Structure 1
């Protein structure tokens, strides 16, 4: 099992829309998340900085393949098309990232 933490900005004028979208995530999107071996997935909002922090546990054996599977899914692509305009990627993210990866520095179970 791998844990992942990521961060991205949230456009201030899109906060209410983002919360509304995530209060009723499309069932097909939730099913794809599960099909891609992701468990305990959460997104947190820090205001007034308007930062989104996501945490997930990956329970599969090939993270890159599962992420490619998710990215190829038409319903997930539709979901991203409505969510991404709400987000503001960090300038410090890696070239191939939308959400910036974070280093885990502590975990206690």
Structure 2
């Protein structure tokens, strides 16, 4: 298992919409996340800065393949069509990232 984290901004005028979307995530999306070997997935929101922090446990063996499977799923593409306009990527993210991946510097069980 690998603990992973990521950050992104949230458009100020889309905060309530983003909260509404995530209060009732579509069952197909929840199933897809599980099939892509992600468990214990949580997204936190920091207001008023409007920063999102996501953390999850990855239980697979090929993260890139699982993320490609997730990105290719038509229902997920539809879900993203609602979520992506709400988000504001960090200027400091790496090439190819939407959410900026984070390095773990401390963990305690």
TM over 0.5: yes
Off by >3 Å, runs of 4+ in structure 1: none
Partner of 1:36: 36
Partner of 1:91: 91
Partner of 2:103: 103
User: What TM-score do the two structures reach when normalised by structure 2?
Assistant: 0.99
Displacement of 1:31 in angstroms is: 0.3
Pairing 1:5–2:5 present: yes
1:23-102 map, 5 Å: 23-102=23-102
Count residues with an aligned counterpart: 109
User: What TM-score do the two structures reach when normalised by structure 1?
Assistant: 0.99
Counterpart secondary structure, 2:107: coil
Counterpart secondary structure, 1:101: strand
Structure 1 unaligned blocks of 5 or more: none
Displacement of 1:44 in angstroms is: 0.1
Displacement of 1:12 in angstroms is: 0.7
